[in-house]
Structure 1
Amino acid sequence: MSFPAEGDQIQIHSYKHNGLIHRVWEETTVLKGTQNTVIGGNDRTIVTESDGRTWITREPAICFFHAKYWFNIIGMIRHDGIYYYCNLSSPFVWDDEALKYIDYDLDVKVFPDMTYILLDEDEYEVHRKQMNYPDVIDRILKNNVERLTSWVQQRKGPFAPDFIETWYERYLTYRK
């Protein structure tokens, strides 16, 4: 199986548990692509929602996907610091069309001072019932909320000092 190579432009497809498309990011530059990890960068990319509406991201972002963890992390570079939006999701898969994952509603928003909040618990409960999330998925996701918040507290992975800045500098080398 091939993986996206450094410098490749890829799409990111987010699905819901029922298999329906949730959201598509039109263009992300691959900064690292391995069997376990994809790190990408984008800025002002078009995002298409499941209902066809589109919008454009407002700031540069570095995206971190892992094939073993049930979350992905987006570090958004703003004038007042780095904000992180973390989606509780299935591990990513790459199928030569796009990087794909299942979005499981729960999100963790992390502020520049590394404080964080858990978002969308109500939406998660509604979808868990509507789409019949298995109990094992519920346990996995709750365990990964703990893993993710532990990473924040330990400044691990994308939360480490200089992680986002270092990858953003690499991203800038690919901009025309």
Structure 2
Amino acid sequence: MRALALLALMGLALAIAPGEVLPDFQLLDPKGNLITPKTMPKPAVIVFWASWCPVCRAEFPSLHEVAEKTKVPFFVISREPRDTKEVVLAYMKAYPRFVPLLASSADTPARVAERFRILGQPWTLVVDKEGKVVALFAGRAGKEALLDALLLAGAEVE
């Protein structure tokens, strides 16, 4: 158990940190629109996940509730190279408020996860209006902590 906690702390130390600007990426939304850190609406939430991840499956309903309540865009990026466009889009049918980001001719979700220094899933980032990371959750993000982070990011939260 201690080894797992130590690995999680080491991963957090390596990952993109609060205060850092989002690394550049070029992914497509389901309609084929190019999404980059400059073009994405903010504040926003970015969730790195994988279709086989049991923690992701358990967490997505509460994340979707927060997305519905706040109307903040939630961009979801599968860091699993085997999650094809078809797998991702089928999975996301249950979560219509999420915007899945897919491979483009210039980038892949797995390479984006590497640029963000994401080591596992789910990892959730809250981004403010300037494109800086306000909070990072490795593992399951609690609803109240996520709402607090969104307030810090400038989102209107009831």
Query: Common fold, TM-score beyond 0.5?
Result: no
Higher relative contact order (CA 8 A, sep 6+): 2
Q: TM-score range by the shorter chain?
A: 0.3 to 0.5
TM-score by length of 1: 0.30
TM-score by length of 2: 0.32
More strand by share: 1
